[in-house]
Amino acid sequence: MDTVIPFVSTHPFSYKVAAFNSLLRRMFAIPMSPNHFEQELNIIKQIAMNNGFVTSMHTPPAPPPIPATTNITSRYTYFI
């Protein structure tokens, strides 16, 4: 079993994800076939899940679309 800093540890979040940043950077830097790329990505995801990281952290959600409107002030949310 591959171990990284578990998600539930008290380490800063940046320390917890540093190993994954390195693994993903290496995956994108090394030329490989689409099949091997998918295998490598699945291994990284499995390591993450084995160490308590949730699935939604692996795939960032798509940004919400900006609604088309003529009233530009409706695009901004104000917190008071």
pTM, rounded to two decimals? 0.64
Confidence of residue 33 (pLDDT cuts 50, 70, 90): confident
Q: Between residues 21 and 78, which one has the greater pLDDT?
A: 21
HSE value, Cβ hemisphere, 13 Å, CA-based, for 31: 0
**Mean pLDDT across 11-18:** 88
User: Is a pLDDT exceeding 70 seen at residue 79?
Assistant: no
User: Is a pLDDT exceeding 80 seen at residue 41?
Assistant: yes
Question: In this structure, which long-range contacts are made by residues 15-20, counting pairs with CB atoms below 8 Å and at least 24 apart in sequence?
Answer: 20/44, 20/47, 20/48, 20/53
